């Protein structure tokens, strides 16, 4: 099995010199939402962007992004998780998927996906890259 370091994987994802491997680097993108949003669109644009990467996705089965991700990935490259809900069963399902697909890097998008990514990364020992998409403030006055 191919062994890559976190630094090598990060350099590849940051458009540094191509990494010479015997197989494509396997990256799973995780989002806890698949409705309209900037994080989902960013994830959609990343999937398929680099020919040396094999892409996978974990997201809710909802419109419009489930079908958009499916247009770039096979069904066997996708793992369904609940919309904005952290469930033990779903965490274990994603961890099992990550192990079965020999994922090299977990890339999570947004708050809920960040929880999934970090926990699954801890369970599997796979490095995690997390991207925050947007800052969310409560506009209610506390007094």
pLDDT in tens, 32-69: 988 888 889 999 999 999 999 999 999 999 999 999 99
Instruction: Output phi, psi for 100, to 5 deg.
Output: -65, -35
pLDDT tens per residue across span 109-124: 988 899 999 999 999 9
Q: Note the pLDDT of residue 15.
A: 59
Of 102, 116, 99, 93, whose CA–CA distance to 33 is shortest?
116
Looking at residues 96-117, what average pLDDT do you find? 95
Indicate the angle between helix axes 88-100 and 111-124, nearest 10 degrees. Answer: 60
Place of tokens 């900037």: 38
d(C-alpha 136, C-alpha 133), whole Å: 9
Looking at residues 7-12, what average pLDDT do you find? 56
Is pLDDT of 135 > 70? no
Angle at 36 between CA 92 and CA 12, to 5 degrees: 60
């Amino acid at each position: 099995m191919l062994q890559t370091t976190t630094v090598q994987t990060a350099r590849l994802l940051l458009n540094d010199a191509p990494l010479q491997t015997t197989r494509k680097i396997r990256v799973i993108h995780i989002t806890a939402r698949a409705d309209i949003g900037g994080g989902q669109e960013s994830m959609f644009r990343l999937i398929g962007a680099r020919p040396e990467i094999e892409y996978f996705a974990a997201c809710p089965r909802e419109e419009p992004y489930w079908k958009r991700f499916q247009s770039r990935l096979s069904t066997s490259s996708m793992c369904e998780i609940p919309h904005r809900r952290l469930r033990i069963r779903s965490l274990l399902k994603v961890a099992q998927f990550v192990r079965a697909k020999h994922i090299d890097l977990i890339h999570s998008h947004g708050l809920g996906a960040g929880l999934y990514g970090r926990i699954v990364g801890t369970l599997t020992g796979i490095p995690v890259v997390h991207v925050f998409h947007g800052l969310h403030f409560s506009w209610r006055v506390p007094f």
